[in-house]
Structure formats: C-alpha cells, structure tokens
Structure 1
Amino acid sequence: MKVAWAVDLHKIFTLFIIYGMMSYYGNFSVGAWVFLGLHGIYGYCWLIKDFGFRDHQLENKLSFLGFINLYVLLIAWYWLMPWLFIARAIEPSGLVLFFAIAIHTLGVVTMVAGDGQRHWILKYRSQPGLIREGMYRYTRNPNYLGELMLYAAYALLANHWIAWAIYGYMAIYFLARMKGKDNAISRHPGWADYKAQSGLVIPWALINGRAVMDRISKNNKTATESHLHEK
C-alpha cells in the first residue's frame, strides 16, 4: 500500500464523515454547511491535484501497521475540528465566515500552484538546482504555506483550544519537514542568496513591501534598457 492511498482515502471520506456528523447532531446550520463545503470539498481539490501531479513522497510504501499508525498519529486528528464545530453547534459570525472562506480559498490556490510549479519544473528542466521564481520567489515552501492557511480556517471555525492544539501539532510536523528540505537543497549554488531573499514559509517580502520595491526596480530597469535599445 502506498502513502498516497491512505491520504486519498482520507480525502474521499472526509465529506461523508462531516455530513454524518451533521446528521447525527441534527446540525444543518449555515455554518455547518460552510464547514462541509470547505473541508469536504478540499479533499476533492486534493484528489484533482494528486491525479495531475502527485508528490513523489506519497509513492512510498506502507505496511498495514504503517497505515494504521499514519491515521492514528497524523491524519484522523483532522476530523476532530469539524466535530468540535458541529457537536457544539457553533454559530460563527458573518465576519468569521468571511475570513475562514478567504483564508481557505487563498490557501488552496497557494498550495496547488506551489506543488504544480515544482512538479513541472523538476520534470522538464535539464539541470538540477534551486527553484527561485514564481511561487518560490519569496517563500521556500508555498505548498506548506497553503496547507497552513486552509487548516487555520478550520481551527478558526471550530473556535476551541483543541483545534488550535491540533493545528500546532501539524505546524510542528510541517516545520520539521521544511527544515529537512532546507538541509537537502542547501548544497546547490546560490543557496545563501536565495535563503536571504525568501522566508522559510512566510513570504516576508510580500508583507514588508520589499517585493513591491523589487518589482518597481525591475520594471524601471527594463524600461531603461528598452529606451537605450531604441536609441
């Protein structure tokens, strides 16, 4: 059994698990439907991505015991977030729903775009090296950033410390993987400059305005070169 099969099964079942919670508790509020739409349909967004460009790490083999451990230690905990929301009949405000949907949408797009760019560059480029453009220009891990954003939306809706504890557990796991990736790619030429240019996960340059200044400087340089060429 591959790791991908365990993860994909979880993504498929999540929609039905959450709807089952709604039916069991008789909670068909607007908030519950929004949670179902976000978390349940995210699983199918993942499946589309997986069919298009699967992460090679998900091709690793799992024993049956490994499958059980993967669920117990990592995957099944995510179902506690919708349970905390639905069982407690949380009624989020319109503002909370807005932020949850906004963060979730941006997170899914960021994750898929990051994974897609990495997959196609690694598949078709002729020489190994750092990926420093596009989604990877200001963050070295746009895929993890996207996942952190969308799961933050679930924790925000659940509105319980256990949900945020699960989120913290997931963030620590992701951090370990990101650090391992940094160690692996640090051997490539240009690593020091790229590390200084980008954040481990948060694209600080987009927050502090440096990215905007870089773009303005680049546009001015291009315009100057074009003007000189015309002369």
Structure 2
Amino acid sequence: MKLNQIINLHKGLTAFVVIGLMIFFDNFTIAPYVYLALHGTYGLLWLLKEKIFPDPYFKEKINFLTSVTGFIFLGSYWIAPFILISSQKSVPNVVIAVSISTNIVGVFLHFASDAQKYFSLKLKKDLIKEGFFKNIRNTNYLGEILIYLSFAILSMSFIPLVILAIFFFIVFLPRMTKKDKSLSKYDSFEEYKKKSGLILPKLNAL
C-alpha cells in the first residue's frame, strides 16, 4: 500500500463523515453546512490534485501497520467537525467569515504553489525561487496550515489548534527541514535561504 492511498481515502471520506455527524447529532445549522462546504470541497480538490499534479513524496510504500496508524493519525482532523456539530454551538457570523477567508487564502496558496512546483520540476529539475517560492520556501505548507486553521476557527475550540500544532512539529516541520537539506545541493541555495523564510516571508525581503 502507498501513503497517498491512505491520504486520499481520508480526504475522500471527509464529506461523508461530516454529513454523518450532522445526521447523527441532528445539527443542520449554518456552521456545519459551512464546515461541510469548506472541508468537503478541500477533500475533493485534493483528489483532483492527485490526478493532475500529484506529489511524488506520497508515492512511497508503507506497511499495513503504518497504514492503519497513519489513517488514525489523519482521523484526528475530524475532531474539529465532531466538536462543532456535537456541541450544537451557535457560531457568530464574524467567526464564519474569518474561517472562510482563511480557508480561501490557504487553498489558493496550497494548490497554486504545489502546481507551480510540480510543473516547474517537470520542465527542469532546478531550484525554484520565483513566483510563490520567491519569499517563502514552503508556501504549499503555509497554505495547508491555513486550511486546517480555518477548520479550527470554525469549531471554536482549542483542541483542533493543538492537533494542528502537533501535525506542524511532527509532520510539516521535519519535511520542510528535510527539503532544505535536499535543496542545499544547489549553489544558489544559501543566498536564496537568506532572502526567503521557511514558512513565512522575512520582513527584510518584503
């Protein structure tokens, strides 16, 4: 089994999980519908991305135990909709608006930068330091973090924020560090590193 199969399964099931929670807790207020639209659409876009510009990193083979563990780990992202829907809480319009705006920015940065990376490397295996990667070396990860931050905002709970922080330090940060080590083979990387931020732009570069 490959890592992308586990990830794709999780992404594809998300909309059904949210709908199931809405039915089980009989909660059809605006916030759950907004959550369904945001997270469900993100899952669909991810599956489309896998068909159009897949990430080769996720093609690695994993054993059964790792597959199960990975799926459970990813399943922690479903805690946000569970909290939102089961609590029957009324979400203020301003929170919904902030969540949607954060999600839109995140989706744009995540998918657009991933597309740039995929097609740039397809044309030439070289250091990408223009466009989305001019001031930030990991714009795609920044976008993904903003996407899950939007879900946490909508849930109005600190627990999804803690989960996101765990993912950042266990998954995102090690990958970004590994990427920097890989890119260090390019002669211009050190200069590029001085001008760009790991996940946020450097103030002196703006």
The unaligned stretches of length 5 or more in structure 1 are 212-231
How far, CA to CA, are the matches of 2:89 and 2:38 in structure 1? 16
Do the aligned residues in 2 keep the contact of 1:129 with 1:189 (CA within 8 Å)?
no
The unaligned stretches of length 5 or more in structure 2 are none
1:86 to 2:91 alignment: no
Query: 1:171, CA displacement in angstroms?
Result: 1.3
How far, CA to CA, are the matches of 1:148 and 1:136 in structure 2? 16
What RMSD, in angstroms, separates the aligned Cα atoms of the two structures?
A: 1.2
Query: 1:197, CA displacement in angstroms?
Result: 1.1
How far, CA to CA, are the matches of 2:150 and 2:36 in structure 1? 12
How far, CA to CA, are the matches of 2:28 and 2:96 in structure 1? 15
1:137 to 2:134 alignment: yes
Do the aligned residues in 2 keep the contact of 1:103 with 1:153 (CA within 8 Å)?
yes
Query: 1:16, CA displacement in angstroms?
Result: 0.5
Q: TM-score, normalised by structure 1?
A: 0.85
1:202 to 2:203 alignment: no
Residue 199 of structure 1 aligns to which amino acid in structure 2?
G
Residue equivalent to 1:98: 97
Residues 141-164 of structure 1 deviation map (CA, whole Å, 9 limit, x = unaligned): 011000000100011111222111
- Which aligned pairs between 1:25-174 and structure 2 lie closer than 5 A? 25-72=25-72, 74-125=73-124, 128-172=125-169, 173-174=171-172
The structure 1 segments of at least 4 consecutive aligned residues displaced by more than 2 Å after TM superposition are none
2:43 partner SS: helix
Residue equivalent to 2:18: 18
Residues 32-73 of structure 1 deviation map (CA, whole Å, 9 limit, x = unaligned): 10011001111001111111011001111122222101112x
Identity level (%): 34
Q: Return closer, same or farther for 1:100/1:204 CA change in 2, 3 Å cut-off.
A: farther
Do the aligned residues in 1 keep the contact of 2:195 with 2:202 (CA within 8 Å)?
no
